[in-house]
Amino acid sequence: GCTVKYTGYLEHWDEPFCTNCYSKSPGLMKLGKDITLGGLEIGLLTMKKGEVARFVFTPDYAYGRQGCPPLIPPNATVMFEVEVLDFLDSDESDAFFELTAEQQDTFPLQKVLKVADTEREFGNYLYRKRHFEGAKDRYKRAFSILGRSPSSEAEQCQMDASKLLVLLNLSLTYLKLERPAQALAYGEKALEIDQRNAKALFRCGQACLCMTEYEKARDFLVRAQHIQPFNHDINNELKKLA
């Protein structure tokens, strides 16, 4: 999927026939599903995040012999100006989730970690757009595949590192969704992996504060402060408590 700004022009016309540049935050679009113009699909696959390009498409790569009346005349050559704002490759991830649980279990760990990472990135993208429900679902999908039994200590470490990031994201997202009990539960799961994780302690403290469990909140926040004594956010929450 990618987030792009685009403007399409007909040959010899100054005014665009389509654009999404007026939108403050264009949504994520999937190649082949939301973006179906042949030339544009090919062009976008050659681009990197942050790149700006101008493509001229002959009718074969655009709207064909028929055109798309009344907007696009027959046999039209079109020009697109495109900027790639964000790019997330979800093909591998989508394919993985279509497999049965037994098939997923036979996947090499590195691929599973890559899928979890892609899901987390999608979650982060949705979180930044303030789509917290969607972000939570992506994080949960990532977490659901990180439960397999490791075959070595090295594998355990890799899985724990991946799990920790997802759990911290889940805790934060549940705070945004105003569901502090879940935020606390995921924060505590993160602490099972790393008991000195300041972010996890901070999230647990915030959750307890929301639930008016002040003693518990203080305990978590003081522990977080010991690890990061100059953290502005932690100190501010403790001031609120006082």
Distances (CA, A) of 238 to 26, 220, 228: 38, 10, 13
Q: List % helix, strand, coil for the chain (3-state, nearest 5).
A: 55, 15, 35
Pick the closest to residue 38 from 93, 80, 94 (CA basis): 80
- Segments in 145-231 forming alpha helices (H): 153-176, 180-193, 198-210, 214-227
Q: Contact at 8 Å (CB) between 8 and 72?
A: no
Please report where in the chains the tokens 């470490």 appear, as a residue.
157
Minimum mean pLDDT among 23-27, 57-61, 80-84, 206-210: which range? 23-27
Q: Are strands 78-87 and 52-57 parallel, antiparallel or unpaired?
A: antiparallel
The least confident of 23-32, 105-114, 233-242 is 23-32
The residue-averaged pLDDT of 165-173 equals 98
pLDDT above 70 (res 10): yes
- Of 25-29, 123-127, 228-232, which gets the smallest average pLDDT? 25-29
Collapsing DSSP to helix, strand or coil, 56 comes out as strand
3-state secondary structure of 17: coil
Question: Is the preceding omega at residue 70 within 30 degrees of 0, hence cis?
Answer: yes
Q: Which of 93, 154, 165 is nearest to 127 (CA)?
A: 165
139-to-120, 133, 187, 201 alpha-carbon distances in Å: 5, 10, 14, 19
More confident position, 209 or 33: 209
Structure tokens at 17: 């026939």
Report whether pLDDT(32) > 80.
no
Give me the mean pLDDT over the 183-189 stretch.
98
What pLDDT shows up at residue 147?
A: 84
pLDDT for 176 beyond 80: yes
- What per-residue confidence (pLDDT) applies to 129? 79
Q: Report whether pLDDT(89) > 70.
A: no
Predicted local confidence at residue 236, as pLDDT: 94
Residue showing tokens 């300041």 = 198
- Mean model confidence pLDDT for the chain: 90
- pLDDT bin (cut points 50, 70, 90) of residue 171 is very high
Tokens, residue 194:
């790393």
174 CB burial (10 A radius; 0-12, 13-18, 19+): buried
Alpha carbon 53 to chain centroid distance?
24
23 has a pLDDT exceeding 80: no
Contact 191, 201 (CB under 8 A): yes
CA distance from start to end of the chain: 46
pTM for the full predicted model? 0.70
Q: Of 44 and 117, which is predicted with more confidence?
A: 117
The percentage of residues in the chain with a pLDDT greater than 90, rounded to a whole number, is 59
Mean pLDDT of 173-201: 98
Type and span of the H or E element at 6: strand 2-10
Tokens of 207: 């959750």
Q: What is the mean pLDDT of residues 17-26?
A: 81
| Tens of pLDDT, residues 113-139 | 999 998 998 888 888 878 899 899 999
- pLDDT above 80: residue 29: no
